[in-house]
Chain A
Amino acid sequence: MPLKTENNFHQPGKRFFRAYRPGDDFYEALIETHRDLSDEQSARVNARLVLLLCNQVGDLGLLREAMAIARKGVVAEDDDAT
């Protein structure tokens, strides 16, 4: 299975009438998870979240692909800046 690049947010049993809605529900929940946290606490929450989700995905090929994409953007930008 290739890495999904199209919008994949959904909620079983719930009907959405607007295409943006499930993604917005997700994003709000994500930001809410970090409410009132210090930067360090937020970083830890992110780490734990990544670990939980990686286990959910499970497929190491997929995970390596996602990890490479995530790192590449950040490193390339650092290079541009110097």
Chain B
Amino acid sequence: MFLTYDNPVYDYARSPDQSAAEPVHHPLIVVGAGPVGMAAAIDAAQRGLQVLLLDDDNTVSVGSRAVCYSKRCLEIMDRLGCAEPMIEQGVTWNVGKVFFRDELVNQFDLLPEAGHKIPAFINLQQYYLEEYMVRRMDDLDNLEVRWRNRVVEIDNAPERVMLGIDTPDGRYRLSCDWLIVADGANSPIREQLGLESRGQWFQDRFLIADVVMKAGFPPERWFSFDPSYHRGQSTLLHRQSDDVWRLDFQLGWDADPEEEKKPERVIPRVRAMLGEETEFELEWCSVYTFRCRRMERFRYGRALFVGDAAHQVSPFGARGANSGVQDSDNLIWKLALVMQGRAPQRLLDSYSDERVQAAEENILNSTRSTDFITPKSTMSRIFRDSVLELCRDFPFARQLVNSGRLSDTAFLIDSELNTAEDPDFCGDMVPGAVMLDAPIEGPDGERWLLDTAGGPFVLYCYLGESGGLSQQTRAALHALAGASIPVQSFVVVAAGAAAEEHATVIDREGLFAARYDARPGSCYLVRPDQHLCARWRSFDAHSVAAAVARATCNG
């Protein structure tokens, strides 16, 4: 029982499939209604696929669990129609502070510049996020959810997947063309298929305590190395919604997890951290260890693994749920093209290639954070403490302080889906990068650049102030819109430029030009997951068509 939240109960309902003589066939089944499975199901439904989502439970997350949602995750959630209530209910924050022996040694701002629709981070208890996603799923007619449906048998055959499912009414069977596996870190499906997620355990224990309090602390991430109230270890203080605060205490490997969970052990620790005068109530606590690991590939025939089932990281850096949602973002448009017969199955291997690279990066960053927070030898600790000591006077040391490198996007620069760019471009918007947002005025009243992408492939043709789209180009853009894989196109003009006879994006503050290193003539091809896959200094219809073919393995 929680002080601030009551878990909703979603009713089990018997499906006619359970009475069928033969296993009923579904094109796409998603297993696991956590944030990642629901993101996949919603995205697939939005892209027109018929989706069945199975979950072994009948409620949302019990306890707050994942708390920090990154800008990129929220941008995806925005496309899925879920970000608004998250941002409304969540606590927006940009600033992180690091303390060493009670002294402030470093401070960072995660979104130092304006001109983005979505904040750098929000904190929100996982159950709220899941509740909003369940609500969103209710709106989608081509998405069915079955609660208390536990997959207990699987046969991943070359031509289709067979599932055996346990329900309160007993077992039944289904088949599907494609299976998205989002059943969490201990993935029963992964186990049943005899597949492994391999990596490293870390020898340390952490206590999470969520407390309810009215406190004057700002909504910032406060990480403390070796504070006076918890000598030799580290702590974290972070605000969630409803006056719930996440406290994290490093305990060391020798701590007894059962003992440390008891309120009589937890309350004195919390009191030491918050001060005698602060009133609080304990909401939830948990003692955890962690590991960094991943599967070798994320696609095995017709089974596609996403989120914690595919890869797991330490919690420092909020790279769990955030990266899982990005898996789904990368996968679903590809799966839609394959299921519609417009791209070969090989495109799904690029899902694995690209997200394995992202998982590697997440594991690398989170392992490094863990090594900094938990030094493994005397010399490591001396180096760590020396870095922290030098911070006050030497900026270079501040950059080395690693209390968690917070979730960011992977640059998929080695992806085979990219087309080589013209050599004279500058800036980070390289093929393989996630689009940076910019304030714009779109043809349908859009206020943000990202709102114009995320459906089909999109081509942005920058004209700047000069304007003047030729009739020939206009005809070529029209033809691209009608291709078998359609390319929606926008011309981008500077504020005040003359209107064009084509869907036009006005670069309200010149930030598109700045962020994309755009000159009149520059063109950018964007995938349905808002990743750039090509850019050119001038428009050429054949090059665009070839880049689309390459990005869909049709080349």
Contact = CB atoms under 8 A, between A and B. Distances in A.
Contact of B402 (A7, A27, A42, A43): A27
Interface stretch (B261-269, B364-372, B477-485, B542-550): B364-372
B472 interface: no
Contact of A7 (B372, B380, B396, B411): B396
Interface stretch (B186-194, B214-222, B324-332, B387-395): B387-395
Contacts of A65: none
B379 interface: yes
B383 A30 contact: yes
Contact of B411 (A8, A17, A23, A37): A17
A8 B397 CA distance: 10
B237 to A, nearest CB: 22
Given A18-B408, A24-B405, A42 B399 contact: no
B471 interface: no
A19 B305 CA distance: 31
Interface string A40-82: 0011001000000000000000000000010001000100000
B470 interface: no
Nearest to B371: A31
Contacts, number: 60
B396 A42 contact: no
B423 to A, nearest CB: 14
Nearest to B372: A27
B411 A20 contact: no
A27 B378 contact: no
Nearest to B400: A23
B383 A31 contact: yes
A42 B377 contact: yes
Contact of B371 (A6, A8, A18, A28): A28
Interface in A19-40: 19-20, 23-24, 26-28, 30-31, 34, 37, 39
Contacts of B389: 73, 77
B428 interface: yes
Contact of A17 (B368, B378, B428): B428
A11 interface: no
Contacts of A34: 377, 379-380
Given A20-B405, A27-B400, A39 B395 contact: no
B105 to A, nearest CB: 13
Given A7-B395, A24-B402, A73 B379 contact: no
B421 to A, nearest CB: 13
A31 to B, nearest CB: 5
Contacts of A31: 371, 380, 383
Contacts of B371: 28, 31
Interface in B196-248: none
Contacts of A46: 379
B interface, how many residues as a size bin? 20 to 34
Contacts of A8: 396
Given A5-B394, A7-B395, A23-B400, A42 B379 contact: yes
A24 B396 contact: no
Contacts of B372: 27
A6 B400 CA distance: 11
B379 A24 contact: no
B368 A28 contact: yes
Contacts of B365: 24
A46 to B, nearest CB: 8
Interface in B424-468: 428, 433
A43 to B, nearest CB: 8
A22 B395 CA distance: 15
A50 B255 CA distance: 38
Nearest to A31: B380
Contacts of B408: 18
Contacts of A4: 396
Given A18-B408, A28-B371, A73-B389, A39 B399 contact: no
Most chain B CB inside 10 Å of its own CB: which residue of A18, A19, A39: A18
A67 B232 CA distance: 28
Nearest to B387: A27
B379 A39 contact: yes
A6 B368 contact: no
A24 B368 contact: yes
Nearest to B410: A17
A38 to B, nearest CB: 9
Interface string A1-16: 0001111110000000
A20 B428 contact: no
27 contacts: A5-B396, A6-B395, A8-B396, A9-B396, A17-B411, A17-B428, A18-B405, A19-B399, A20-B402, A23-B396, A23-B399, A24-B365, A24-B368, A24-B405, A26-B400, A27-B383, A28-B368, A28-B371, A31-B371, A34-B380, A39-B378, A39-B379, A42-B378, A42-B379, A46-B379, A73-B389, A77-B389
Give me the 4 closest cross-chain CB pairs, A-B, nearest first: A42-B379, A7-B399, A7-B396, A34-B379
Interface of B: 365, 368, 371-372, 377-380, 383, 387, 389-390, 393-396, 399-400, 402, 405, 408, 411, 428, 433
Given A24-B405, A27-B387, A31-B383, 10 more contacts: A7-B396, A7-B400, A8-B396, A17-B428, A18-B408, A23-B399, A27-B400, A28-B371, A73-B390, A77-B389
